[in-house]
């Protein structure tokens, strides 16, 4: 081969490389679309299982699946007689049992220990018996509430468990393998910082109107086509040295979104718009991580001058990270940020607003780590194995749409209640230190008083749950399923499932005022009760209260709105700061020049003439502030409070609120820290954290929403109607 042929072949190879890259992208897009369609089919199959007369063979034929696949997706459709299915399960268990050994072995501990019922059921209420309804715990729209049914004084445990979903959860391994689940990471401790955080030069930009708020001035800019480079040029020409730009309106990253298959693709393309003057600010390390964070609505772009990439970065961020501007102009947003800083400075003399509420929340918390006492040296970080377990089993807020026939097709009204600054109420106690594993045998050996104390302590339990016969209300505990929702809340009498739940939820299932559920303890993690978040929470609650009062009492409308937005920002600091403790596996993004090999396991986000932008899971970082046990415990307490919250006056309980204190069949929706019902409730609102505030009232009849999107539209109408009614009442 001569040089000319070699050069021609090389050029041909480059063309082939380009074609292969395009084909790979096409295949990836097709595979992604296929996965979406397959997932949609699974959700529809699961939804059809809610029909009383549903037949697996008919669904299998219509869906193109085998009968076995249909039963795997919707176990309720299994046509096998219960007796045969039970016998088969027993045979499989016998076949799987290990062969006996000749030498003596310790007595095997029980697989699960039954937890005691902590209260007596409520008196029987005479109600008409309903028709039987199949469990409708589906992936897309979680478990609906049951219609009115008589409350049984003596629950009867069914002999045949009802499967809820196919997703399995990890369990604590036995023997030496389980030791890592009772350990902390060597040399990794949350300690109080010994430095003062440095503030960044920050400006606020209304990209729609081209208005820039710099300190106490407002300047009009020409942003051109609103590309990142043009925005940076315009802002830095007016405000040299700017390190952070918050976009308050206009969302330039959505420009031209109609040209892309997803909003995320459009955002990635905008962030990576080529520029001769600006380049992506990158970090150090083997992967040369790109500075951009690709998010559909709150992206982060980090840029450095192309001529001097090491001279420092300028960020373009969304104001929506902190609060929804809700039409507020750029001056009001700037004033809100200033009020937020002033409110925090009253409680932290070294408070600095960082790029995001999550970063700010964690930094402020680190400055409350005690300097005396048992934890003066800092809080140890759990082992990676235990953090992974908590990540997989500690769900966040409850989101559930209750479907007919558990609620009426025509709702008499849609009434929304929202818990005020909800998570702040659950920070007074949190788990600390190395957990102690509680086996089923150890739990069974406890006295009832010790069992109750363990369940009321900071704990996380692997349990087998059975919904009692006669139960006619919403589900109490989360069950794992595949799909977007990840968790559903079974409520059908007789349903049996295995799950993980925090002590607050398990205790509620055993001690609710209606009737106790059957809870069998498989294993658990029992922590020491501590107060690592208490001081942080108290200071944030005080800052929130100051800003909330200012938003009601200040004489100037603009100042009131700014104070309200600042109070919402405090909520974000707590909410996202808490989420930061969960320390989910990192999702990192990066860029690789065209023609170079991509790192293993990446998902391609976009590509231009010079680089490919990608992202990938990076596992758990060695983060000294990773405490998923705190986030999981607070989330569990908040989910329990959606069902039953006590009003206290001192130590005395003076009232209750929550879904279990509403009539059966009236709960329509759970949404993290609020619920929607078909009628108003007599729950008092005192303006304290955790209180249920009437947020919306849509007069019926209202067609039951068939999806979360439809519910959110109705919720907006209900809030508008209530606001109009309040305004009308104030005018009269």
**Which residue shows structure tokens 């962030």?**
271
Assign 50 a pLDDT band (cuts: 50, 70, 90): low
Q: How many CB atoms lie within 10 A of CB 184?
A: 16
Helix H or strand E segment including 209: none
**Which residue shows structure tokens 């468990």?**
161
- CB-CB contact of 585 with 641 (8 Å): no
Predicted local confidence at residue 99, as pLDDT: 36
pLDDT exceeds cutoff 70 at 74: no
Q: Report the pLDDT averaged over residues 170-179.
A: 84
- CB-CB contact of 724 with 697 (8 Å): no
Cα distance between residue 725 and residue 624, in whole Å? 50
Average pLDDT over all residues of the chain: 83
Assign 90 a pLDDT band (cuts: 50, 70, 90): very low
**Which residue shows structure tokens 């309720």?**
76
Percent pLDDT > 90 in the chain is: 57
DSSP states along 643-668: H-EEEEETTEEEEEESGGGSPTT-EE
Q: Return the bridge partners of 461, or none.
A: 501, 524
pLDDT exceeds cutoff 70 at 356: yes
Q: How far is CA 62 from the centre of its chain?
A: 35
pLDDT exceeds cutoff 50 at 54: yes
Percent pLDDT > 70 in the chain is: 82
Q: How far is CA 628 from the centre of its chain?
A: 13
DSSP secondary structure letter of residue 241: T
- What does the pLDDT look like over 658-689, one tens digit per residue? 999 999 999 999 998 999 999 999 999 998 99
Q: Which residue has the higher pLDDT, 108 or 698?
A: 698
570: left (phi over 0), alpha (psi -120 to 50) or beta: alpha
Q: How many CB atoms lie within 10 A of CB 171?
A: 15
Return the beta strands (E) in 320-428 as ranges: 379-382, 399-401, 410-419
Predicted local confidence at residue 24, as pLDDT: 77
**Which residue shows structure tokens 């009269």?**
732
pLDDT exceeds cutoff 90 at 243: yes
Token pair listed for 9: 């072949």
- CB-CB contact of 348 with 364 (8 Å): yes
How far the first Cα of the chain sits from its last, in Å, is 95
Q: How many CB atoms lie within 10 A of CB 147?
A: 20
- CB-CB contact of 566 with 351 (8 Å): no
Q: How many CB atoms lie within 10 A of CB 683?
A: 18
Q: At how many degrees (to 10) do helices 503-511 and 628-643 cross? A: 20
Token pair listed for 307: 């001529």
DSSP states along 439-498: EHHHHHHS-HHHHHHHHHSSEEEEEEEEPPTT--S---S-EE-SSSS-EE---STTBEEE
Predicted local confidence at residue 725, as pLDDT: 92
Q: Report the pLDDT averaged over residues 583-599.
A: 75
Assign 570 a pLDDT band (cuts: 50, 70, 90): very high
Predicted local confidence at residue 278, as pLDDT: 94
Predicted local confidence at residue 71, as pLDDT: 62
Predicted local confidence at residue 568, as pLDDT: 96
Assign 731 a pLDDT band (cuts: 50, 70, 90): low
Q: Report the pLDDT averaged over residues 247-263.
A: 93
- CB-CB contact of 381 with 184 (8 Å): yes
Q: Which residue has the higher pLDDT, 344 or 22?
A: 344
Q: Report the pLDDT averaged over residues 193-220.
A: 93
- CB-CB contact of 299 with 267 (8 Å): yes
Residue 351's closest CA among 631, 570, 203? 570
Q: Report the pLDDT averaged over residues 238-249.
A: 95
Q: Return the bridge partners of 189, or none.
A: 380
Burial of 429 from C-beta contacts in 10 A (0-12 / 13-18 / 19+)? middle
Q: Which residue has the higher pLDDT, 671 or 47?
A: 671
Predicted local confidence at residue 377, as pLDDT: 87
- CB-CB contact of 708 with 688 (8 Å): no
Cα distance between residue 343 and residue 339, in whole Å? 6
Most confident range (mean pLDDT) of 23-37, 78-92, 512-526 is 512-526
CA-derived radius of gyration, the chain: 28
- CB-CB contact of 622 with 573 (8 Å): no
Q: How far is CA 715 from the centre of its chain?
A: 20
Phi, then psi, of 295 in degrees rounded to 5: -140, 145
- CB-CB contact of 677 with 666 (8 Å): yes
Q: Which residue has the higher pLDDT, 297 or 650?
A: 297
- CB-CB contact of 77 with 69 (8 Å): no
Assign 17 a pLDDT band (cuts: 50, 70, 90): confident
Predicted local confidence at residue 15, as pLDDT: 83
Assign 101 a pLDDT band (cuts: 50, 70, 90): very low
Q: Which residue has the higher pLDDT, 622 or 529?
A: 529
pLDDT exceeds cutoff 50 at 433: yes
- CB-CB contact of 455 with 503 (8 Å): yes
**Which residue shows structure tokens 């006590």?**
646
Distances (CA, A) of 650 to 428, 537, 619, 654: 15, 19, 45, 10
Predicted local confidence at residue 551, as pLDDT: 94
pLDDT exceeds cutoff 70 at 381: yes
pLDDT exceeds cutoff 80 at 443: yes
pLDDT exceeds cutoff 90 at 79: no
Cα distance between residue 12 and residue 6, in whole Å? 10
Cα distance between residue 121 and residue 512, in whole Å? 8
Residue 428's closest CA among 583, 641, 626, 570? 641
Distances (CA, A) of 363 to 158, 348, 545, 624: 51, 11, 21, 12
User: C-alpha dihedral over 50, 53, 57, 61, to 10 degrees?
Assistant: -70
Ranking 8-22, 59-73, 510-524 by mean pLDDT, the lowest is 59-73
Predicted local confidence at residue 619, as pLDDT: 62
pLDDT exceeds cutoff 60 at 1: yes
Q: Report the pLDDT averaged over residues 103-112.
A: 45
Assign 133 a pLDDT band (cuts: 50, 70, 90): very low
Q: How far is CA 682 from the centre of its chain?
A: 30
Residue 488's closest CA among 76, 34, 160, 80? 76
DSSP secondary structure letter of residue 351: -
Cα distance between residue 295 and residue 659, in whole Å? 34
Burial of 435 from C-beta contacts in 10 A (0-12 / 13-18 / 19+)? buried
């Amino acid at each position: 081969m001569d040089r000319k042929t070699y050069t021609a072949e090389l050029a041909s190879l480059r063309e082939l490389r380009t074609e292969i890259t395009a084909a790979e992208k096409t295949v990836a897009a097709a595979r992604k679309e296929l996965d979406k369609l397959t997932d949609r089919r699974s959700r529809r199959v699961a939804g059809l299982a809610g029909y009383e007369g549903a037949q697996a063979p008919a669904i299998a034929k219509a869906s193109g699946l085998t009968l076995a696949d249909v039963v795997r997706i919707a176990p309720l459709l299994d046509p096998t007689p219960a007796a045969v299915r039970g016998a088969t399960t027993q045979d499989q268990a016998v076949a799987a049992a290990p062969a006996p050994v000749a030498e003596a072995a310790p007595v095997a501990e029980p697989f699960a220990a039954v937890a005691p019922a902590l209260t007596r059921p409520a008196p029987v209420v005479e109600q008409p018996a309903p028709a039987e309804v199949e469990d409708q715990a589906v992936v897309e729209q979680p478990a609906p509430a049951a219609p009115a049914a008589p409350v049984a004084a003596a629950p009867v445990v069914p002999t045949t468990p009802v499967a809820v979903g196919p997703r399995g959860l990890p369990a604590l391994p036995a023997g030496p393998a389980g030791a890592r689940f009772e350990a902390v990471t060597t040399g990794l401790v949350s300690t109080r910082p010994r430095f003062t955080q440095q503030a960044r030069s920050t400006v606020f930009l209304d990209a729609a109107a081209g208005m820039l708020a710099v300190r106490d001035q407002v300047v009009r800019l020409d942003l051109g086509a609103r590309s990142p480079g043009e925005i940076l040029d315009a802002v830095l020409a007016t405000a040299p040295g700017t390190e952070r730009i918050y976009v308050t309106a206009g969302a330039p990253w959505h420009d031209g979104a109609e040209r892309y298959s997803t909003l995320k693709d459009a955002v990635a393309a905008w962030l990576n718009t080529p520029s001769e003057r600006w380049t992506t600010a990158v970090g150090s390390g083997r992967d040369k991580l790109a500075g951009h964070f690709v998010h559909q609505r709150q992206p982060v772009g980090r840029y450095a001058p192309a001529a001097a990439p090491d001279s420092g970065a300028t960020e373009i961020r969304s104001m929506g990270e902190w609060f929804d501007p809700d039409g507020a102009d750029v001056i009001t947003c700037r004033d809100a940020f200033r009020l937020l800083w002033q409110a925090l400075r009253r409680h932290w003399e070294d408070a600095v607003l960082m790029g995001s509420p999550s970063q700010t929340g964690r930094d402020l918390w680190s400055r409350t780590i005690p300097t005396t006492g048992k934890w003066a040296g800092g809080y140890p970080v759990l082992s990676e194995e235990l953090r992974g377990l908590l990540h997989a089993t500690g769900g966040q807020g409850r989101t559930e749409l209750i479907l007919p026939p558990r609620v009426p097709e025509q709702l008499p009204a849609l009434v929304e209640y929202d818990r005020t600054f909800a998570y702040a109420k659950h920070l007074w106690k949190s788990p600390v230190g190395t957990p102690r594993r509680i086996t089923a045998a150890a739990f069974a050996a406890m006295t009832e008083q010790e069992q109750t104390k363990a369940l009321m302590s900071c704990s996380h339990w692997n349990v087998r749950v059975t919904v009692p016969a006669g139960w006619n209300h919403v589900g109490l505990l989360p069950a794992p399923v595949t799909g977007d929702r990840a968790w559903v809340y079974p409520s059908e009498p007789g349903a049996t499932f295995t799950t993980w739940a925090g002590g607050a939820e398990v205790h509620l299932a055993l001690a609710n005022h209606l009737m106790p559920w059957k809870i069998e303890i498989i294993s658990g993690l029992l922590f020491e009760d501590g107060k690592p978040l208490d001081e942080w929470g108290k200071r944030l609650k005080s800052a929130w209260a100051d800003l909330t009062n200012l938003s009601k009492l200040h004489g100037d409308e603009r100042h009131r709105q700014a104070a309200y937005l600042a109070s919402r920002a405090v909520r974000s600091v707590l909410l996202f700061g808490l989420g930061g403790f969960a320390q989910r596996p990192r999702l990192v993004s990066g860029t690789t020049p065209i023609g170079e090999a991509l790192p293993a396991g990446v998902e391609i986000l976009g590509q231009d003439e010079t680089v490919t932008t990608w992202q990938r899971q990076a596992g758990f970082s060695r983060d000294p502030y990773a405490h998923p046990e705190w986030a999981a415990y607070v989330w569990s307490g908040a989910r329990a409070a959606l069902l039953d919250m006590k009003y206290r006056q001192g130590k005395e309980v003076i009232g209750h609120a929550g879904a279990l204190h509403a009539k059966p069949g009236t709960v329509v929706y759970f949404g993290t820290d609020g619920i929607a019902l078909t009628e108003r409730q007599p729950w008092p609102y005192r303006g304290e954290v955790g209180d249920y505030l009437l947020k919306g009232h849509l007069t019926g009849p209202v067609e039951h929403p068939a999806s979360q999107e439809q519910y959110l539209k109705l919720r907006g109408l209900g809030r508008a109607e209530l606001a109009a009614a309040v305004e009308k009442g104030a005018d009269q």
